[in-house]
Structure 1
């Protein structure tokens, strides 16, 4: 395994996350430091109230801040600059190890977010995969984080929509500015945004996503309340939402489409190389270069191909590996479903099969409930499977969303690895245990570092055999396929954004090396085009966690306890990889 060189984080004497005695001359230092961390968290919720709603904090459910406005941008800059300055009041030697980790994490947060302002990412505010309008659609469905339990909840949503529409109007202004400065989406991505916008211009209210809460009003609402809310939502949709989406759709389908980029990668924009370097650091929390990652990806692709060859031989397939990919993609025996609910049932059955083995690998499990749901129809065609966290108080479950656009073409060969990644013990364990922690400050409970978070989820896929899964060779191939998918990402993401690759070349490379369907691969490549660097985080983080596990196994021998190792990785929540490595190194030293 190649060693991942990780970013040095400002940290003087991190030893572990155990509490240590404070210095006598600073009896109130811990309280003051905790107050700064709490203030940072609270101020952050005011700047991004959607985060509060997602965490189950309903104080700001009626607010949507216009993150594109000059006023908001100035506030965000002041927020990070101010807290970076405040940290200077707390020398590392006066803090416990746990507090030092929180300080190092907050310094990282401030630095990476301030660096973001050196670029023009807000000039392409809408895409087909990541932008706020898509998450607002989830909230509008009434089945996500935004509550629709009381009359007040319904009224709060109307106010939030007003703020959202202000943001939506600003997106056109920013895109026009982007057209002038050379920062525009590729045409292929604009084409994918258009049907998403058009779906919310439907005049039949019963079919409109934003009308869904009205169709599901609680029975204890009075007739007068139901009538008043129905009228208010009809007006909101007819007089505001439909008009706003029609206007934006017209702009993007005409002027913006004409200005769209022919190039596929971020190199096609001014300052693209510098922005990509920033994105690599942001998502992997390393100092790796695009060239290093590209070579690592090529190496991993070669290694995984050799493992795939063994599965091909095991099932008796005659032909080369690419032919085997085609066989797996089109094998009707792997597409057994006729009803979307059967897909959901299959994931629940996977969960049941692994339950008897989970105790062997984990002695700490989350209390937050868990559900599998189908991805909402309005975004299903462009969506990937994903996990949405439960609320901090555990009242809202963690949800694994899986898109099922055509159930008869749904291929099951990778379902076991997908469940391990998105659900258990992947994102559900990692995020829920963090949120349930009584030791971590609030700001760390909702923190997300993709290198750690996605790295853990991909590492979790490799635990299938230990959890009683992968007994079917096609499911084992599915695990290898999922790992190959992330290895290919290292190649195609860097290819697109640093080597001038076209969308078509990236698609073909993926088709040559993985068994995903062509439609799925196209969606994935366009995902990478929309958010440079994010796709790199999975494999970089996974390799680091696997490297740390092997280091611990080699050093501790019979003393190695896989459950304790997993506790060590999970108990501190999302952290830059350098801090995770420091923590595991100290744990090894303590237990040697």
Structure 2
């Protein structure tokens, strides 16, 4: 699962730093309650981060798109976090409930980690990549099938206004990348070659086939002919006169001067302050203080362990050759590519859900109310996308969506579909995110937080529950689970290899090919993903191992008193938190029991 906006795009600040300064000077007697403070924090966050508000299902700011790259906005953000830390210091733990103490600790973490992020230039000079950045999310919004609503005439007009501001961001992105070139901040050439086609897709000259024209082809019932005609004219003009020229200019720049200057190195260490930035990224995504060397060695150990488990499956299915050739055998096994149409693949995921439904109550006594759907990834980003989960709205009216890319259904290999569904859908991201959003005991700001170490750690932990949920009866599906875990273990090796040990893109690709059954095309896409966002790929295995460690600790400590459903409640009820805070919570629960 990933957010459609980069770290800088989800940071928050109150509109008046003077107000915070006044709060610092308030006495304990006059200072607002902590719950009021948390609510105000959340509301100001929505105002000033309207994309996040739209994702959460709050429509009040659907016409806004602040320029997150603007220097004034960045400086205000820095002031916000510094002032928030000072205000937080006025709240004594002795006066707070256990949940409020957790909220206070989370806010302190938010302030510190975002101030660290703002101390680097990376978010300014790398505003666009092939997988993670806001332009791709805006494409999803434009399709009319994502979080941006297109139900009323006002909704349609809101999007026109938002696009106008978004185009300012695109122009600023180009200017920033030009400055980045001067200062040594430039993407690897192999990534730039993937971005250019994505930008060119938005220069589609046939207006009626353009992605941003999609809402016009899907007017809701009840629109008058006058409204339809006015909106059709406005959207046609927006695409023809504004959007296409802006994308064409950006595409020409990236295919020209930027491509020529693109670096041949793969790791972030080759840019200014790259080593320090990677340390920050490890902390940001794992929410730990682990070093790159520690993670690299852990990865090598996990790869060796999982390889031994894979050998057992290879023996079980009667394959006689070595494990590396077995990877190729699984990659190309025709029986594991049984489909010809994307709809059949979507149906298979729904069948997996039906199989596990009777077993879910044995592991979970709380289930989300938010609806859930499986969809094919949109064509404009499908070739560079991984499977992912997009959360439903906080109020549950918009479903959680598991997107899976299917560029060619005839070549789609199903061997890892059960583990993929457990991770991206149920009980992975859909349970974790929806239960958080539905938990009325949490302050609102915690309902939309995302910490990759926890969130991706939970999703990978969920993959290990397959046998308990009636899955993995087919040895190839169990091998798929091992393959998915291996994939995350390999990430520990190759991400640190690329960014701290000087590995090339090609060395990382070859290491992956030697140790997992993913297709070469899939592996190349993954390695380039790690190049674009250093450290993110580390979060899955680090988080999974911590949750598994805590489950084992609780089971041994509690013996007959251990209830797996209660343990899962303890993990999930907090919402996303840094792993150290989760561990402290589980330890307190064990002590109380």
Give the TM interval when normalised to the shorter protein. Answer: over 0.9
Q: Where in structure 1 are there 5+ consecutive unaligned residues?
A: 1-24
- Within the alignment, does 1:79 sit opposite 2:89 as a pair? no
- Within the alignment, does 1:341 sit opposite 2:343 as a pair? yes
Instruction: State the Cα distance separating 1:47 from its structure 2 match.
Output: 2.4
- The 5 A counterparts of 1:4-43 are 32-43=33-44
Hey, what's the Cα distance between the residues in 2 that align with 1:190 and 1:231?
34
Which residue does the alignment assign to 2:161?
159
Which residue does the alignment assign to 1:10?
none
Which residue does the alignment assign to 1:296?
298
The answer (yes or no) to whether the contact 1:267–1:273 under 8 Å persists in 2 is: yes
Hey, what's the Cα distance between the residues in 2 that align with 1:228 and 1:81?
47
- Within the alignment, does 1:54 sit opposite 2:72 as a pair? no
Hey, what's the Cα distance between the residues in 1 that align with 2:529 and 2:427?
25
Which residue does the alignment assign to 1:353?
355
- Within the alignment, does 1:284 sit opposite 2:286 as a pair? yes
Hey, what's the Cα distance between the residues in 1 that align with 2:118 and 2:312?
48
Instruction: State the Cα distance separating 1:329 from its structure 2 match.
Output: 0.3
The answer (yes or no) to whether the contact 1:47–1:76 under 8 Å persists in 2 is: no
The answer (yes or no) to whether the contact 1:385–1:422 under 8 Å persists in 2 is: yes
Hey, what's the Cα distance between the residues in 1 that align with 2:423 and 2:256?
40
C-alpha deviations, 1:45-85, integer Å up to 9, x for none? 22221000000000100000110111211121122112111
Which residue does the alignment assign to 1:512?
514
Which residue does the alignment assign to 2:112?
111
C-alpha deviations, 1:417-454, integer Å up to 9, x for none? 00000000000000000000010001100000000000
Structure 1 counterpart of 2:213, from 203, 206, 211: 211
Which residue does the alignment assign to 1:13?
none
Hey, what's the Cα distance between the residues in 2 that align with 1:586 and 1:27?
31
- Within the alignment, does 1:432 sit opposite 2:426 as a pair? no
The answer (yes or no) to whether the contact 1:370–1:398 under 8 Å persists in 2 is: yes
Hey, what's the Cα distance between the residues in 2 that align with 1:220 and 1:98?
46
Hey, what's the Cα distance between the residues in 1 that align with 2:298 and 2:113?
24
- The 5 A counterparts of 1:359-378 are 359-378=361-380
The answer (yes or no) to whether the contact 1:142–1:148 under 8 Å persists in 2 is: yes
Hey, what's the Cα distance between the residues in 1 that align with 2:401 and 2:29?
43
Hey, what's the Cα distance between the residues in 2 that align with 1:258 and 1:43?
42
Which residue does the alignment assign to 1:454?
456
Hey, what's the Cα distance between the residues in 2 that align with 1:127 and 1:445?
28
Secondary structure of 1:67's counterpart equals coil
Q: Where in structure 2 are there 5+ consecutive unaligned residues?
A: 1-26
Hey, what's the Cα distance between the residues in 1 that align with 2:408 and 2:82?
48
C-alpha deviations, 1:167-197, integer Å up to 9, x for none? 0000111001100000000000000000000
The structure-2 alpha-carbon separation of the partners of 1:563 and 1:238, relative to structure 1 and needing over 3 Å to count, comes to: same
Which residue does the alignment assign to 1:251?
253
Instruction: State the Cα distance separating 1:32 from its structure 2 match.
Output: 1.3
Hey, what's the Cα distance between the residues in 2 that align with 1:27 and 1:453?
38
Which residue does the alignment assign to 2:10?
none
- The answer to which of 73-82 and 454-463 deviates more is 73-82
- Within the alignment, does 1:313 sit opposite 2:296 as a pair? no
Which of the pair has the greater relative contact order for Cα pairs under 8 Å at 6+ separation? 1
Alignment RMSD (CA, Å): 1.0
| TM-score scaled by length of structure 2 | 0.95
Q: How many residues align?
A: 566
Structure 2 counterpart of 1:468, from 445, 467, 470: 470
Hey, what's the Cα distance between the residues in 2 that align with 1:450 and 1:583?
18
C-alpha deviations, 1:234-265, integer Å up to 9, x for none? 00000000000000000000000011111001
The answer (yes or no) to whether the contact 2:160–2:238 under 8 Å persists in 1 is: yes
Which residue does the alignment assign to 2:398?
396
The answer (yes or no) to whether the contact 2:39–2:444 under 8 Å persists in 1 is: yes
C-alpha deviations, 1:498-546, integer Å up to 9, x for none? 0000000000000000100000000000000000000000000000000
Hey, what's the Cα distance between the residues in 2 that align with 1:581 and 1:134?
35
The answer (yes or no) to whether the contact 1:40–1:83 under 8 Å persists in 2 is: no
The answer (yes or no) to whether the contact 1:548–1:584 under 8 Å persists in 2 is: yes
Instruction: State the Cα distance separating 1:28 from its structure 2 match.
Output: 8.2
Secondary structure of 1:527's counterpart equals helix
Runs of 4+ in structure 1 deviating by more than 3 angstroms, as ranges, are 25-29
The answer (yes or no) to whether the contact 2:28–2:90 under 8 Å persists in 1 is: no
